[in-house]
Amino acid sequence: DSNFIAELLTQLQVDNPKKQLSILHQLATLEEPGLQPLMDFLLARRQQPAITYLDGTAYRLLWQSHAPQAKTFLQAHWPDGLVTPLSDKGLDYSELQQSLLRQDFEAADRLTLKKLCELAGSGAVQRGWLYFTEVENFPGQDLNTLDQLWQVYSEGRFGFSKQRQIWLSNNQNWEKLWEKIAWKKGNAWTRYPNEFIWDLSAPEGHLPLSNQLRGVRAMASLLTHPVWS
């Protein structure tokens, strides 16, 4: 009822992202009565300097509602998507944004590798994987864009900076990182693609993947890139 919604809206104002996230989900489960509050929330947040996963979640929940008024609203205010993906190399990240919005994390993961190869140049595009020396020279702007897209549409769970955070808090120990992000269990690597978890129930840092077939150096370059410090 309206008192319950009013109570949710009050709590939504409190600057506590985990709590706010849970309220956004509660509003979405109310269906029709929850739509306007979600739209108001998203509009009010346009004053904020940065787009976060709270914006991404509100946007996605509205988009997933399939309500015509929500579609019209999103189209009117964000005709090109919530995030404006900046690129120093003129790369187009709109398909990646679309697959993340759809929560098609498997497609998003493949697109991410594709974009990283495009960033590295035609050699990497043909080869289909990265030299660590190429990664060192990636423009920070594009890495930031990739990371922001993953964060915004994963409720803050996925992305390179999240993986870096976990790696740093485990003394830069790769074996510990693999366990934490479920890329390895005991001695067994998680098998691509079926054993990976392609939704938000995955552990933090699980996505995007970096194939370890050719060693850890490319991922090490990614996680130590100057853009994160």
Judged by CB under 6 A, the chain residues 84 through 113 that form the site for ligand UYC are 113
Site map (CB under 6 A) of ligand UYC, residues 124-143, x = contact: ----xx--------------
Locus of tokens 């964060």: 151
Is the sign of the CA dihedral 11, 12, 16, 21 positive or negative? Answer: positive
Question: What residue has token string 């269990």?
Answer: 185
Choose which of 48, 64, 173, 211 interacts with ligand UYC (CB under 6 A): 211
Residue among 34 and 208 whose Cβ is closer to ligand UYC: 208
**222 forms part of the interface with ligand UYC (CB under 6 A):** no
What burial class does residue 8 get, using C-beta atoms within 10 Å of its C-beta: 0-12 exposed, 13-18 middle, 19+ buried?
middle
Q: Which of 223, 226, 222 is nearest to 135 (CA)?
A: 222
Interface with ligand UYC (CB under 6 A), residue from 192, 197, 199, 217: 192
Q: At a CB cut-off of 8 Å and minimum separation 6, what does 131 contact?
A: 120, 124, 218
Q: Which is nearer to ligand UYC, 28 or 116 (CB)?
A: 116
Nearer to ligand UYC, 70 or 209 (CB): 209
Q: What is the CA radius of gyration of the chain?
A: 19
Indicate the residue type of 194: N
**Considering only residues 190, 202, 203, 216, which one is a binding residue for ligand UYC as defined by CB under 6 A?**
190
Contact between 209 and ligand UYC by CB under 6 A: the answer reads yes
Q: Which residues bind ligand UYC (CB under 6 A)?
A: 113, 128-129, 183, 189-190, 192, 209-213
